[in-house]
Amino acid sequence: MKKLLASLLVLAMCAPAMAVTFSTSATDNVLTISYDLAEGEVLRGLALTVARQSGDGVVANDQDHNFGPFNTFMDYAYMAPTEYQIDTGHPFAIVGAAGVATFPASEFSISMGYLDQNGVEPKGEGITEDGSITITFTGTEATEVAVALDTLRGGAVGDGLTTIDDSGLVNQTLKFVNEAIKSTAPFYNDWVTYGKPACWAFQRQCNGDATGTQEGNAVTGYKWVFNGDLNVLLTAYNVAEAPKGPGIDSIPNGICADFDHAREGNAVTGYKRVFNADLNILLANYNVAEAPKGAGVPVCDGTHYNFWTN
């Protein structure tokens, strides 16, 4: 029955559909396709084409993507050798023909629908809230992708739809994770300004580790924040940026002691990258041994990092 319903949903995709507004956006290597529904509108199926225009980005597999509430993948059901089950498979399909896309894929369709878990979807039920899907690419070069409604599969299908706006399906450029710090980090621009120092992505740099290495021994305990880090801070402490001083770049590895990734001071006295806030961070973690000799220095919040450099 579920396989039959999936087949019927494929046929439904050939019906004209409207009353949904689409848009695209990109963050690093993730493409987001959003849909906005007018009040009272119901979305049951969605088919889009995604085609690489430049670069080397591809979709490598069916993992690490988010298809929102869509739970029925018609082309996967078409190809499945056994009875298809809702919430299995993926929506990546061949452009211009029925069937599942082959990975890695630089051009593909997204073909998916919504059915309830009992295989029975009464009219009027379905996706009624705004949402989005995300597709994760892999690659090394900036990659431009184009997104469009897949007219072969009907584009978008729903109940009572009256208008459509696909003008927001504009090309997006994806950038790949080859930087330790995410471009969305509040301190990303400063990181770039100071030459993308690897030390800013040390696991405990935000907590006073300027060197990225431990000091100590098995008897006294190993410490991430100790004399080496203190020495880096002391050489960089209170060094004003131009025009009030030579700037932190004049101090070897001085920027590594900027633990809060912010400047202090004012236009009169000068702005300093390493000052009291950084000193306080170091002092709070100085000489704290790792287990089993102590509580250890915590790792920084990974929200703004793609990977650690130590």
pLDDT, mean of residues 118-147? 82
Q: Which residues contact 288 (CB under 8 A, 6 or more apart)?
A: 223, 224, 225, 294, 295, 296, 297
Q: Please state the domain extents for the chain.
A: 2-174, 188-304
What are the start-end ranges of the H helices in the chain? 2-12, 74-79, 188-193, 227-236, 276-285
pLDDT at 123 over 90: no
pLDDT at 81 over 90: no
Q: What is the pLDDT of residues 206-228, one digit of tens each?
A: 999 999 999 999 999 999 999 99
pLDDT at 124 over 60: no
**Model pLDDT, residue 254:** 98
Share of the chain above pLDDT 70, in %: 90
Q: What is the pLDDT of residues 15-55, one digit of tens each?
A: 444 588 999 999 989 999 999 998 888 899 999 999 999 99
Burial class (CB in 10 A: 0-12, 13-18, 19+), 58: middle
pLDDT, mean of residues 158-166? 80
Q: Which tokens in the block code for residue 126?
A: 């379905």
pLDDT, mean of residues 261-290? 97
Per-position DSSP letters for 118-168, written without gaps between them: TS---TT-SB-S-EEEEEE-B-SS-EEEEEEE-GGGTSEEEES---EEEEE
How far apart CA 67 and CA 61 sit, in angstroms, is 14
Q: Give the CATH number of domain 2-174; options: 1.10.3470, 3.40.50, 2.40.10, 2.60.40.
A: 2.60.40
pLDDT at 14 over 70: no
Q: What is the pLDDT of residues 94-104, one digit of tens each?
A: 999 999 999 99
